[in-house]
A and B are shown apart, each in its own frame.
Chain A
């Protein structure tokens, strides 16, 4: 599956594959494999599952190439097949490894907001790596559909419209999933103040009661 120096466009390669060119599909996939790999890794949450999901997508795309009608870019179609293969695998997995939050995520929550400025020295680089690890860990705890939407839109930079094509859903659905996913992610990363349980008093001293006003004005005290 080498990228090679083939000058054919994606559409030409796909057509050649459908026509029986034994190498065309491999060339097409090689062109986009790194980006597809990135999406699979972040959607599935780990490299092993990403490899399985990507393999599923590869097979599906190989077999369904004949059904591609050119209504979208070949890359969009390819992304859609791979992303949906990953989501299918996530949905089918009944064994959910409920990984507890890493201890340091709780530590970050106590610290408050996360710094987002770029690293300026090696110490900051280490901090940035740790931050990325935490973000990825929190992302893995989102529902699959929200995770996939955020991976495509916020990580890979696709527009909402492009992501909607890849996820085979309405643009409004992508927006909703992104919105919900971001809120949940912010909670996990400690960016939001904890919600108070209903019925529980706010912490700290209660507000002083307002002065009681008499219905009858009182005059000065009578002399003793």
Chain B
């Protein structure tokens, strides 16, 4: 229903007065629940800590190794490397080889899921975690947005608490690649390039077997795209 729907009927003064009394009577009068108070207290505490977290510097070598671990043979995620020098499209097993070649990473640092023998695979720490999402910018394609968003989400396991974040700090080295997050609500934030434009995908908390993914481009308060993805 749009705001421009035309209504041929109007209210009489008595009807309008009656309706306004009904609305006034239906005003919410209960105080904010204690669990919401506590939640917002945590958010405020997190906001106060933001300058400290944003100042963390990640070594270039660590970023590149982290970016490489995130590449999966079946994923359609494209990574924009530091300085814009590494862009890979349509990753398949062949694409994976091309990336590792281009990155010049030692075989031991490859994503364990590509069949390599990365040391991390043996101690269970090879799978990238949410913190790693802050260190790269993923490229998502307009005509494959759903597939790319799904692959991006599925590539990195997420904890439940990730959906309580209302933003994401940006590493100093990514400052030229992506903007600070806006007031886009709670969710899991992933920096992206969408048709060349920087932005963020916010994966909302799953509801049953679906999950909303909202794309926000830098400088915009409204979602550029919003999809409901199946949630496994």
Contacts and interface: CB of A to CB of B under 8 A. Distances in A.
A25 B7 contact: no
Contacts of A132: 25-26
A1 B18 CA distance: 38
Interface stretch (B9-17, B106-114, B140-148): B9-17
Pick the most buried of A37, A55, A128, A132: most chain B CB atoms within 10 A of its CB.
Answer: A55
User: For the complex, would chain A's binding face be called helix, strand, loop or mixed by DSSP majority?
Assistant: helix
A189 interface: yes
Interface residues of B, number: 52
B3 interface: yes
Contact of B166 (A55, A91, A131, A142): A55
Interface string B199-214: 0000000000010101
B185 interface: yes
A94 B44 contact: no
Nearest to A113: B18
A44 B172 CA distance: 36
Given A155-B26, A177-B3, A191 B19 contact: yes
B21 interface: yes
B56 interface: no
Interface residues on A, range: 35 or more
Contact of B39 (A55, A63, A157): A55
B228 interface: yes
Interface of B: 1-3, 5, 7-11, 15-16, 18-33, 36-37, 39-41, 43-44, 47-48, 166-167, 182-186, 210, 212, 214, 221-223, 226-228
Report, nearest first, the 6 A-B pairs whose CB atoms are least far apart: A60-B183, A154-B23, A92-B223, A37-B32, A38-B28, A135-B26
